[in-house]
Amino acid sequence: MKIINVAGARPNFMKIAPLMDSFRSQAGIESMLVHTGQHYDEKMSDLFFRELGIPEPDVNLGVGSGSHAVQTAAIMQAFEPVLLEHKPHAVLVVGDVNSTIACGLVTAKLGIKLIHVEAGLRSFDRSMPEEINRVLTDAIGDLLFCSEQSGVDNLRQEGVAEDKIHLVGNVMIDTLLRHRGKAETSRILHSLGLSNGAYAVTTLHRPSNVDDVATLRGVMGALEEIGREMPVIFPIHPRTRQRLASFGIQTNHAQIRLIDPLGYLDFLKLISAARVVLTDSGGIQEETTILKVPCLTLRNNTERPVTVAVGSNQLVGSEPASILKAYRHLQNHPGRSSATPPLWDGHAAERIVRIIQEKL
């Protein structure tokens, strides 16, 4: 059986790594990797391949950036000939980025089986491009692997056939558990002059936070306030850096330390020793849950509600007053305990590969 795996953007790489590993050790499965090239900077892509031991992609579509329509169409046009040439039995896509839906759509139209890993997650916010990608990919998928029970419930609610849905755990956590020991040896705290538990980490890249000048200015103001009490380390996504520059928003470097995007191991070390993480990322809500580091999510909704239910994550929105209120509450109530979601145990990829073998 030949399977083509697709990865395109930074959060895909941590998800595809354990799957490539599990496929490799499985007799009877020939697995290929296609990189769409949605992310292409060394620090957004190649670094992750090296650190996570992901094999060189068999094909790189090299599509790069563009508007949603341009990027999605470019991936589709470049991916179709790859499927026609290699004739796989199935295509596996992960997550919710434009590469996910673009390759999913081409696969389904060619009558090839489509596997979606991280299926069923819903923020119920259609203004998020990722929500559109999630809903559409699940609607055309043949095998849908969920990381948490809410994913299963959402798919059932949408009328998806029961035999397509499988709760398997979280492949991103497979990668975290596998690399945690190595991340401990990272020198990032030393090189940034930080001590354990005495700083905050922030990441921001969602259009809802960074594309509106007033919102971005407000969030940066709240981070500066926090920065008066402890260093705020901000590994900055390229699109956020562009927005800060084009809006003319200056940051006070004594309070917020803007640094280039980090590799996987340095970033894992950085968040694991932080006092608090403030983010609008999806994956970081999950990683902090396992690391037991309090996470304030700068959004009004999450497609990963289990992270809130187990007690590590809080939705605080983007209003400066509510960000600061939640931060102060955390400072005054340290040591809240949180639980680990079911099946986030490092074995999700193995379960997925076993089910693929049984079902296809």
Active-site residues, by number, are 205
Q: Which is nearer to ligand UD1, 129 or 218 (CB)?
A: 129
Residue 161: partners with Cβ closer than 8 Å, 6 or more residues away: none
Q: Where are the alpha helices (DSSP H) in the chain?
A: 10-24, 46-52, 68-86, 98-109, 129-140, 149-157, 171-184, 188-192, 207-210, 213-227, 238-247, 264-272, 283-291, 306-309, 320-332, 348-359
**If binding is defined by CB under 6 A, does position 11 make contact with ligand UD1?**
yes
Task: Please say whether the beta carbons of 61 and 79 come within 8 A.
Answer: yes
- Pick from 26, 40, 86, 135 the residue near ligand UD1 by CB under 6 A: 40
Q: Which is nearer to ligand UD1, 106 or 189 (CB)?
A: 106
Which range, of 107-115, 220-228, 232-240, 295-303, touches ligand UD1 by CB under 6 A?
Answer: 232-240
Task: Please say whether the beta carbons of 173 and 310 come within 8 A.
Answer: no
**If binding is defined by CB under 6 A, does position 239 make contact with ligand UD1?**
yes
- Pick from 1, 44, 177, 249 the residue near ligand UD1 by CB under 6 A: 44
**If binding is defined by CB under 6 A, does position 46 make contact with ligand UD1?**
no
**The pairing of beta strand 256-259 with beta strand 200-203:** unpaired
**If binding is defined by CB under 6 A, does position 9 make contact with ligand UD1?**
yes
Which range, of 16-24, 51-59, 95-103, 317-325, touches ligand UD1 by CB under 6 A?
Answer: 95-103
**If binding is defined by CB under 6 A, does position 355 make contact with ligand UD1?**
no
Residues 102-121 that bind ligand UD1 (CB under 6 A): none
The backbone torsions φ and ψ at residue 266, rounded to the nearest 5 degrees and listed phi first, read -65, -40
**If binding is defined by CB under 6 A, does position 279 make contact with ligand UD1?**
no
> Quick one: which of 352, 358, 360, 41 has its CA closest to 173?
352
Q: Which is nearer to ligand UD1, 30 or 260 (CB)?
A: 260
**If binding is defined by CB under 6 A, does position 39 make contact with ligand UD1?**
yes
Residues 188-227 that bind ligand UD1 (CB under 6 A): 205
The DSSP result for 131-167, as a single string, is HHHHHHHHHH-SEEEESSHHHHHHHHHTT--GGGEEE
**Residues at the interface with ligand UD1 (CB under 6 A):** 9-11, 38-41, 44, 65, 71, 96-98, 129-130, 205, 237-239
